[in-house]
Amino acid sequence: MIAAPSLAFLAQWTGRHSALDPAGPQAERIGDLWWLMFWISTGVFLAVLTALLAAILRRRREEEDAPGPIAPEARHRLTRVVAGAVGVTVVLLFVLLFASVGTGRALGSLSSRQALTIRLTGQQWWWSVEYQDPVPGRMVTTANEIHIPTGRPILVQLESRDVIHSFWVPNLHGKRDLIPGHKGEVWIQADRPGVYRGQCAEFCGHQHALMGLLVVAEPPEAFAAWLEAQRRPAAPPVTPAQKRGQKLVETLPCALCHTIQGTAASGKTGPDLTHLASRRTLAAGTLPNTPGHLAGWIVDPQSIKPGNHMPANTLQSEDLQALLAYLGSLK
């Protein structure tokens, strides 16, 4: 029996997966705009209801006192009230317009000083993450988990390999589409360390709902250590099982789709596995990264995420154990 994605597993990050719990300057601006709109709309709603109630009560009283047409003074007062209400409405609409335009401008104006550039490529149904560097040998490729240093602006370059996806990490920013054949970009910044869940926000096929990602914001020193570790090729196998596992990866179809730096596996269709064991999730935020879930995923990925591009693998028990031992060593 293969474990389906567990809700408890997803909940550990979705609990804080909220645009109203901002962790960076842009999400904060968006949150402020939302609260301004919320309170103005609430005020208008209450004012309209109060006016309606007052009108109903007064009309009833007037009809009881002196039924008949409205007196000329009352008509004048009514005209003044309606004109005043129209004036207030226009002013409020302009307040919302300026606040909205101002927020839009502020969102695009993160300082690009000391920016870190990440290329994010969406595909059915996972995210490829490439840390750019002027020296090609220092670029880092990973998948479905973006690490960023806190307090530093990040330029995320967006591309898609197949259909339209949308990058959305509610705690950091609004949505931005990844469009095939078009290079988009978005700036993000996290000021508070934490793990923020992201989600593809544009329907992109069968497994759109299971196209998640994590953004791990950590202090600059921790981030630098992480990046340095990711730059290294895969850890060489030590135990006999790990050695056998590496040989299996290189000879089985795995190598056609996945890359493990420092080995013969250099496929580009699936996620880079060089440091697979350092990641928190499997299959783009679908499963916790544990040996049991990894075994289920290797043997029968289609029952976990139907329609994804990973084929089922029939393996002898010892081969599967060797594969797990090796993949589990790729810290």
The answer, yes or no, to whether the previous bond of 13 is cis (omega within 30 of 0) is: no
Nearest distance, CB of residue 133 and ligand CUA, angstroms: 27
Task: Give how many residues touch ligand CUA by CB under 6 A.
Answer: 9
State yes or no: residue 208 binds ligand CUA (CB under 6 A).
Answer: yes
Rank residues 178 and 327 by Cβ distance to ligand CUA and give the closer one.
Answer: 178
The region of 77-85, 195-203, 266-274, 290-298 touching ligand CUA under the rule CB under 6 A is 195-203
State yes or no: residue 165 binds ligand CUA (CB under 6 A).
Answer: yes
State yes or no: residue 272 binds ligand CUA (CB under 6 A).
Answer: no
When binding is defined by CB under 6 A, the residue of 204, 283, 322, 327 that contacts ligand CUA is 204
State yes or no: residue 202 binds ligand CUA (CB under 6 A).
Answer: yes
Neighbour-count burial of 164, counting CB atoms closer than 10 A to its CB (0-12 exposed, 13-18 middle, 19+ buried):
middle
When binding is defined by CB under 6 A, the residue of 5, 22, 122, 245 that contacts ligand CUA is 122
The region of 37-45, 94-102, 204-212, 281-289 touching ligand CUA under the rule CB under 6 A is 204-212
d(CA 263, CA 117) in angstroms, rounded, equals 27
Nearest distance, CB of residue 182 and ligand CUA, angstroms: 15
Nearest distance, CB of residue 260 and ligand CUA, angstroms: 25
State yes or no: residue 249 binds ligand CUA (CB under 6 A).
Answer: no
Rank residues 129 and 211 by Cβ distance to ligand CUA and give the closer one.
Answer: 211
Rank residues 168 and 223 by Cβ distance to ligand CUA and give the closer one.
Answer: 168
Rank residues 162 and 319 by Cβ distance to ligand CUA and give the closer one.
Answer: 162
State yes or no: residue 176 binds ligand CUA (CB under 6 A).
Answer: no
The tokens describing 197, both together, are 């869940």
Rank residues 241 and 284 by Cβ distance to ligand CUA and give the closer one.
Answer: 284
d(CA 200, CA 168) in angstroms, rounded, equals 6
When binding is defined by CB under 6 A, the residue of 148, 172, 188, 200 that contacts ligand CUA is 200
- Which residues contact ligand CUA by CB under 6 A? 122, 125, 165, 200, 202-204, 208, 211
